[in-house]
């Protein structure tokens, strides 16, 4: 059943952030656990830590420290939407976050989206206001079973060019 979901997390960034990584909307598991990419099968944290040759952050405080120390801003494209569970394909009535909040306060060199739906929504809802093209990366969600972790790591290596 589709339900209205409001984004409950603040964007993570500071004035040293160099890249911005955008998902679509936190999953039910992430909302339940109070932070981004918290589904135990989501590969975001293992991929990003491997790409940057850093230990895997486990606790939320460690994840925050990891993001700040590596100059990574993290948020989602959507402020609210109607969605079934964590299915990006079910999204209806999307309302965008104001990405310019980050862009006006950090020297962002590149914006990346985690998946095609985040990329499509960013281009439709945010790009007209940011005038900042995004680079689409594959989703790290367990629903993206077409790509194994080695393939994801290879695709995510591009972020190092902007850090």
Strands 3-6, 78-84: pairing kind: antiparallel
| Structural domain boundaries in the chain | 3-162
Question: pTM of this prediction?
Answer: 0.94
Kindly provide the b/e burial profile for residues 121-135, where b requires at least 16 CB atoms within 10 angstroms of the residue's own CB.
bbeebbbeebeeebe
What average pLDDT does range 153-158 have in this prediction?
A: 98
CATH T-level assignment (fold) for domain 3-162: Uracil-DNA Glycosylase, subunit E (3.40.470)
pLDDT digits (tens, 9 = 90+) for 8-41: 899 999 999 999 999 998 888 898 999 999 998 9
The pLDDT, as a whole number, for residue 84 is 85
Question: How high is the pLDDT of residue 145?
Answer: 79
What are 108-142's pLDDT values in tens digits? 999 999 999 999 999 999 999 999 999 999 999 87
The three-state secondary structure class of 48 is helix
């Amino acid at each position: 059943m589709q339900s209205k979901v409001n984004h409950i997390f603040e964007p993570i960034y500071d004035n040293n952030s160099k890249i911005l990584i955008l998902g679509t909307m936190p999953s039910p598991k992430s909302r339940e656990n109070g932070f981004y990419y918290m589904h135990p099968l989501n590969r975001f944290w293992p991929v990003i830590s491997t790409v940057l040759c850093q230990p895997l952050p486990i606790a939320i405080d460690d994840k925050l420290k990891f993001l700040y120390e590596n100059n990574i801003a993290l948020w989602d494209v959507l402020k609210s939407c109607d969605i079934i569970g964590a299915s990006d394909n079910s999204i209806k009535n999307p309302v965008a976050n104001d990405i310019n909040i980050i862009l006006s306060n950090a020297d962002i060199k590149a914006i990346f989206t985690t998946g095609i739906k985040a990329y499509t929504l960013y281009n439709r809802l945010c790009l007209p206001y940011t005038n900042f093209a995004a680079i689409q990366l594959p989703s790290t969600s367990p629903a993206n079973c077409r790509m194994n972790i080695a393939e994801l790591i290879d695709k995510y290596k591009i972020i190092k060019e902007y850090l």
